[in-house]
Amino acid sequence: MRRGALAGLAASAGLAAACAPALRPGAAAPPGAALEAGPADAAALAAAARALVDAVEREPDRTRRAALATEAVAAGQRCDAAAPGSAACDYALGLALGVQARERPATVRDGLAEMARRLRRAAAAEPGLDRAGPHRVLALLLLRAPGWPLGPGDPEAGLAEARRAVAGYPDHAPNQLALAEALLANEQPEAGRAAARRAEALAEAAVAAGERDAPGWLRDARKLSHAP
């Protein structure tokens, strides 16, 4: 694969990590919790994988990030083995594959394809999981990844997924952010900026409420609201 194409795929792989803080349905289990959970405890296994994804984003050391990404995938795979077909496990593994693809570029091509498959399964089985998280993250993947044959990118399909996320949870700022990005990518600038302004208002409210990740949502919304 050409270096430029690989770089584009690696950059798009980071989208799962960017969304990961918004994927927690509550307090996440600490990294390693999967090792203490029973083999059938899919909820704990999924939470452990998501916590590891979050830890990757907060780790400054490059080597440690790569190791944590590998641990996240392993936790997601344990979840999948314990509860095959579980939407929570598919979702967690999809996120883990995304950060692994970014931190370990050799896994990019296969990792993003499998990420898309897992997110689609999670969205079909439990579309409301984490306030439409599977639809939201799948939308961003389809928007940011290169198209076939290099990756699963498809801007029109990404817009459809973003609309599904907003239809389910219109008052969740990350869903409006995904819609704004999708509309802009599909040459609908006025509608895209309107969605970004909606995301900005929701993010401001979340900042006032003390949501940890809301400042990042607010920065992204302000950037998109001024997009050309």
Residue 168: CB atoms within 10 A of its CB come to 17
Which of the four pLDDT bands, split at 50, 70 and 90, describes residue 90? very high
pLDDT score of 33: 45
* Contact by Cβ (8 Å): 174, 167: no
Nearest of 61, 59, 35 to residue 49 by alpha carbon: 35
Compute the distance between CA of residue 125 and CA of residue 182 in angstroms, rounded to an integer: 23
- In the structure encoding, which two tokens stand for residue 60, read together? 């400054």
pLDDT score of 12: 45
Structure confidence by residue, pLDDT tens digits, 99-129:
999 999 999 989 999 999 999 999 999 999 9
Nearest of 17, 2, 213 to residue 115 by alpha carbon: 17
Please work out, in degrees rounded to the nearest 5, the angle formed at the alpha carbon of residue 26 by the alpha carbons of 160 and 90. Answer: 50
Q: Give residues with Cβ within 8 angstroms of 73, minimum separation 6.
A: 49, 93, 96, 97, 100
Structural domains of the chain sorted by starting position, each given as residue range(s) with its CATH number in brackets? 3-131 (1.25.40)
Average pLDDT, the chain: 86
Which of the four pLDDT bands, split at 50, 70 and 90, describes residue 181? very high
Structure confidence by residue, pLDDT tens digits, 142-159:
999 999 888 999 999 999
- In the structure encoding, which two tokens stand for residue 99, read together? 């950060």
- In this predicted structure, the answer to whether residue 62 has a pLDDT above a threshold of 70 is yes
Compute the distance between CA of residue 39 and CA of residue 162 in angstroms, rounded to an integer: 34
Compute the distance between CA of residue 227 and CA of residue 199 in angstroms, rounded to an integer: 14
pTM of the model: 0.84
* Contact by Cβ (8 Å): 140, 15: yes
Burial 93-115 (b: 16+ CB within 10 A, else e): bbbbbbbbbbbbbebbbebbebb
- In this predicted structure, the answer to whether residue 40 has a pLDDT above a threshold of 70 is no
- In this predicted structure, the answer to whether residue 172 has a pLDDT above a threshold of 90 is yes
Q: Give residues with Cβ within 8 angstroms of 146, minimum separation 6.
A: 5, 8, 9, 12, 153
Distance from the first to the final alpha carbon of the chain: 32
Mean pLDDT across the stretch 20-25?
38
* Contact by Cβ (8 Å): 202, 176: yes
Compute the distance between CA of residue 77 and CA of residue 80 in angstroms, rounded to an integer: 5
Q: Where are the alpha helices (DSSP H) in 41-107?
A: 42-58, 62-82, 87-103
pLDDT score of 22: 37
